[in-house]
Amino acid sequence: MAKDMTLWWGSGSPPCWRVMIALEEKKLQGYNQKLLSFEKGEHKSKEVMDVNPRGQLPAFKCGDKIINESYGACFFLECEYMSQGTKLIPVNSSEKALVLQRTFEGNTLHQKMVDVFMYNRRVPENERQESAFKRLKETLTGEVQMWEGHLQKTPGGFLAGKSFSMADVIVYPSVALLFRMGLSEKRYPKLSEYHKNLKDRPSIKATWPPLWKDTPGQDFLKDI
């Protein structure tokens, strides 16, 4: 089963990490995997481009099926192996609605985070404006505050209730990256508790980015 799957991934990339957590949760260990370096441009290699013409990671194949978008890959794994491993999308209608809401909200959090992280890379030095960067950080602050509020209102320790779900698969990697980049634990106690409590979950511990084990975090987001 898992031997027919191949994942090309980069260490520390939340989209890649999502797929790896989903594979672990669905008991699909033993898949083929290739760790590539973004710094060396290995995600633009012919091997990757043949699977994902955008030259992005993750790139994922299951048999002859290609699902490169991380959301799509995670949902595919849940649908294809519904009776195996952790049930990531509940049957109950109300519970399912909350899981799906939080799951797709995760894209907004991730995008606002990337907007801040990538500003200096994407905008030429002579076009950068402190006021524009400040607005991006303020937007991210508001988004993080919203997630802190979600956890305050949702009992159970997970993003969508009392059970680990697709919402956690999708969003946890972004939350972990926020704290690695210096997000204040004191300012966001519920998010910090969530981050720490899930660190030792087998699927997350087994897929923790190797790059993070060998390099220190940063204080880039200390004022968010």
pLDDT of residue 99: 98
Instruction: Please report where in the chains the tokens 């979950």 appear, as a residue.
Output: 201
> What one-character DSSP code corresponds to residue 161?
B
3-state secondary structure of 60: strand
Q: What is the CATH architecture assignment of 5-81?
A: 3-Layer(aba) Sandwich (3.40)
SS3 labels along 180-221 = HCCCCCCCCHHHHHHHHHHCCCHHHHHCCCHHHHHCCCCCCC
Q: Which amino acid does the sequence have at 178? A: L
Q: Give the CA distances from residue 25 to residues 67, 144, 164, 168, 194, in Å, rounded to whole numbers and listed in that order.
A: 18, 26, 10, 11, 18
pLDDT of residue 47: 95
Which tens digits make up the pLDDT trace of 38-87? 999 999 999 999 999 999 999 999 999 999 999 999 999 999 999 999 99
Would you tell me how many other CB atoms lie within 10 Å of the CB of residue 34?
14
3-state secondary structure of 154: coil
Residues of the chain with CATH 3.40.30.10: 5-81
pLDDT of residue 208: 97
d(CA 219, CA 130): 18
Nearest alpha carbon to residue 5 among 72, 77, 69, 86: 77
The residue-averaged pLDDT of 9-20 equals: 97
Taking the domain 93-212, which CATH number applies?
A: 1.20.1050.10
Residues of the chain with CATH 1.20.1050.10: 93-212
140 class by beta-carbon count within 10 Å (0-12 exposed, 13-18 middle, 19+ buried): buried
Q: Give the CA distances from residue 38 to residues 35, 49, 56, 162, in Å, rounded to whole numbers and listed in that order.
A: 10, 14, 9, 36
> What one-character DSSP code corresponds to residue 113?
H
Mean pLDDT, all residues of the chain: 95
Judging by DSSP bridges, how do beta strands 5-10 and 32-36 pair with one another?
parallel
d(CA 47, CA 138): 40
User: Which uninterrupted H or E stretch holds 97?
Assistant: helix 93-117
Would you tell me how many other CB atoms lie within 10 Å of the CB of residue 162?
11
d(CA 19, CA 78): 11
pLDDT at 102 over 90: yes
pLDDT at 12 over 80: yes
Reported as a pLDDT band with limits 50, 70 and 90, residue 216 is confident
User: Which uninterrupted H or E stretch holds 32?
Assistant: strand 32-36
pTM of the model: 0.95
Which tens digits make up the pLDDT trace of 107-162? 999 999 999 998 878 888 888 898 998 999 999 999 999 999 999 999 889 999 99
